[in-house]
Structure 1
């Protein structure tokens, strides 16, 4: 829905359905219930997630027109998409394979271009459209040697420049501004705000300016401007909170370099201060392990007294370090409902969301706001609600927070 702070929606990666018809059936059953609770007669946006299979299905003009007709009937619109998970995202073991295929592959490039071909036909006139994507790949697949690491980043960067060139062409033909939004996350090749900014300024811009001036006849200034228009940051609040990042500082550095935020993904992780005594730490560790489940990675980031952060690939791997006396706080990558701050022995990083919403209210950093809690099906049962009620409650919480902060 359009608020004075931007377009607010939710990401449909919360719904299953890997082929288009299955996903569409879930949307038709769920979205009207959400819209009735959240926006009433006013239009409500959709943050559409399409798997590779579903994107191929929706290339069919008949299916796409049927979807467009349904959007019109429902008072719905699509302005952002999630192009991070390529394959199955529910009911299978996803873990690190959420990055498969990564940005070194032709499959990732072609999938993303296919999504943009769909989005350009869906996004309303006068509105920009964005697609979030993997932070190049999963870093632990490329830690064998420095040359492997460098080669991976070079290939991924080249393909993202190909995307930027494609989006320049789409803008010229359609008049619509579309952008690819890179989403840093724990264990991604781009893991933090500073890593994203360094990659953007030291690798993407130099290579992109050279490539676009050669291929499209742009001046260097025009090429850099185009890169900054079509390649942006997907600022997932959960991911930045996990790294104990200082949101105003990250945003100030983005602004200093002229890098745009494509969208804020509004999401929360779990956290806890670690007690001094061993019994207390054991109890906290057991509370964290209640969130251990086999589908997704739940990285742990442990903050030490000196400010250093130690990273673990998943919850079970962190357990041996539970009694590290230098560790004072744990945060784990598990998207929990944004309206919950108190989870019993654990807390959520909801305060980070409130801080980011305040920054958005004061500075209007992007037009795209997307709640992304995709883990309802694997949440502890005492935190589960009917799905339409859960999504509606999250959207209403964000809207109300904007009014009260």
Structure 2
């Protein structure tokens, strides 16, 4: 979906397709013809934006095969879908029974991560609409936090320097502005906005590499939205994209009903980093008994933004709305790319059981976000 900001610029809203991952071209096209088409019809919009996820082998195929790329382009066209955003964080195996820390591999010290990202740049440059101001690709916050060292940091820096050169070349040669959005995440080398901002400062001048601000991750870390935005703006690091999502919030971890309900979210597929207000954190929800329980917890579990969990659990939609006010509520947008990124539908307690229910849930989230975007004075373009 597209919205016109009062300053005249276009703000894009999409949903991330790694909520229904497929790793080959036939599978991706089937998902576009299926779930994505159903979401667009449920929303009754002429064109629906998607944040497309492509596994590394498929990205390589699409970057080097015009025939394969044309198949994908035709599928997007017949379903009235547009792509200005690619999700470049998962490399592969997002359907695995256990993803865990593997989602950060290969990391930015490994050449495979750079090659994958370069392939995504080539694909997006050919897929994005000609009237889009830029395309964005999200990427991991370097790596999981250990092992890490100055040497590994230097290797990652060299990879990003090469990445910046290629982004500039694509902008000059193809006339397509592609930008990389580094996504801070709990437990990683760069887990908070100030850390990521500091690391990204050398790229501030080019505006080709900046932040992907995930409102769930920011909330889990108990970061203050206003302070986080101020840090990035002071350093000149741009927010290339924002992923609009909500985390689990546990007001009183000692509450027996809260503990019982929380157990339903302790599943093995994804990491659910858990943080305690004013205190330490753990790398997964099943380690939360190491926390004191004397203050509120937040859990890295992307819950639907329009449907709060059962009481006494809540979610961090308030943080999301605060962030959205900063992102699009001012005289100029701080980003023009917004993405709904609730990828955890399949592991939710009482989650959807079929494609139709999943599409209805995604559409309900996008509708909830649309209402709040319009409330900030933006006009939906039809």
Settle same-fold status: TM greater than 0.5. yes
The residue number in structure 2 matching 1:288 is 262
Higher relative contact order (CA 8 A, sep 6+): 2
**Matched-pair contact (CA < 8 Å) for 1:46–1:76:** yes
Matched, 1:230 2:208: yes
Shift of 1:285: 2.6
Provide the rounded CA distance (Å) in 1 between the counterparts of 2:151 and 2:33: 44
Provide the rounded CA distance (Å) in 1 between the counterparts of 2:52 and 2:221: 27
More helix by share: 1
Shift of 1:267: 0.6
Shift of 1:360: 2.3
The residue number in structure 1 matching 2:153 is 153
The residue number in structure 2 matching 1:11 is 16
Shift of 1:114: 0.4
Provide the rounded CA distance (Å) in 2 between the counterparts of 1:348 and 1:369: 19
TM-score, normalized by length of structure 1?
0.86
**Matched-pair contact (CA < 8 Å) for 2:186–2:273:** yes
Which consecutive unaligned segments of at least 5 residues does structure 2 have? 6-10, 377-382
Give a deviation string over 1:35-91, Cα, whole Å, max 9, x none: 112243x22211100111221232321110122122223322110000000011123
The residue number in structure 1 matching 2:334 is 365
The residue number in structure 1 matching 2:315 is 348
Matched, 1:401 2:375: no
Shift of 1:16: 2.2
Matched, 1:52 2:56: yes
Shift of 1:2: 0.4
**Matched-pair contact (CA < 8 Å) for 2:197–2:211:** no
Counterparts in 2 of 1:384 and 1:243: CA distance versus 1, 3 Å: farther
Provide the rounded CA distance (Å) in 1 between the counterparts of 2:273 and 2:260: 15
The residue number in structure 2 matching 1:68 is 73
RMSD of equivalent CA atoms: 1.7
Shift of 1:383: 7.0
Q: Tell me, what secondary structure is at the counterpart of 2:86?
A: strand
Provide the rounded CA distance (Å) in 2 between the counterparts of 1:348 and 1:384: 22
Provide the rounded CA distance (Å) in 1 between the counterparts of 2:111 and 2:40: 37
Which consecutive unaligned segments of at least 5 residues does structure 1 have? 143-148, 209-223
Shift of 1:92: 2.5
Counterparts in 2 of 1:256 and 1:388: CA distance versus 1, 3 Å: same
Shift of 1:154: 1.3
Equivalent in 129, 135, 142 of residue 136 of structure 1: 142
Provide the rounded CA distance (Å) in 2 between the counterparts of 1:373 and 1:384: 16
Shift of 1:141: 3.0
Give a deviation string over 1:141-192, Cα, whole Å, max 9, x none: 33xxxxxx21111111110111110000000101111111000000111000
Provide the rounded CA distance (Å) in 2 between the counterparts of 1:384 and 1:401: 28
Task: Report how many residues are paired.
Answer: 365
Give a deviation string over 1:273-306, Cα, whole Å, max 9, x none: 126xx5x2x4423322210111100010011xxx
Q: Tell me, what secondary structure is at the counterpart of 1:225?
A: coil
Q: Which has the higher Rg, Structure 1 or Structure 2?
A: 1
Shift of 1:99: 0.4
132-141 or 359-368, which deviates more: 359-368
Matched, 1:26 2:31: yes
**Matched-pair contact (CA < 8 Å) for 2:181–2:211:** yes
**Matched-pair contact (CA < 8 Å) for 1:234–1:264:** yes
**Matched-pair contact (CA < 8 Å) for 1:19–1:57:** no
The 5-angstrom pairing of residues 295-306 of structure 1 reads 295-303=269-277
**Matched-pair contact (CA < 8 Å) for 2:108–2:143:** yes
Provide the rounded CA distance (Å) in 1 between the counterparts of 2:340 and 2:279: 27
TM-score, normalized by length of structure 2?
0.91
Provide the rounded CA distance (Å) in 1 between the counterparts of 2:4 and 2:43: 15
**Matched-pair contact (CA < 8 Å) for 2:185–2:217:** yes
The residue number in structure 2 matching 1:196 is 196
Matched, 1:179 2:179: yes
**Matched-pair contact (CA < 8 Å) for 1:285–1:319:** no
**Matched-pair contact (CA < 8 Å) for 1:20–1:53:** no
Provide the rounded CA distance (Å) in 2 between the counterparts of 1:67 and 1:19: 11
**Matched-pair contact (CA < 8 Å) for 1:137–1:188:** yes
**Matched-pair contact (CA < 8 Å) for 2:32–2:76:** no
Equivalent in 363, 369, 378 of residue 392 of structure 1: 363
Give a deviation string over 1:299-343, Cα, whole Å, max 9, x none: 10011xxxx33110101111233xx26x31000000010102343
The residue number in structure 2 matching 1:271 is 249
Provide the rounded CA distance (Å) in 2 between the counterparts of 1:374 and 1:200: 27
Equivalent in 120, 129, 138 of residue 124 of structure 1: 129
Provide the rounded CA distance (Å) in 2 between the counterparts of 1:317 and 1:382: 24
Deviation beyond 6 Å, 4+ runs, structure 1 = none
Counterparts in 2 of 1:235 and 1:39: CA distance versus 1, 3 Å: farther
Shift of 1:252: 1.6
**Matched-pair contact (CA < 8 Å) for 2:21–2:53:** no
25-34 or 260-269, which deviates more: 25-34
Counterparts in 2 of 1:244 and 1:345: CA distance versus 1, 3 Å: same
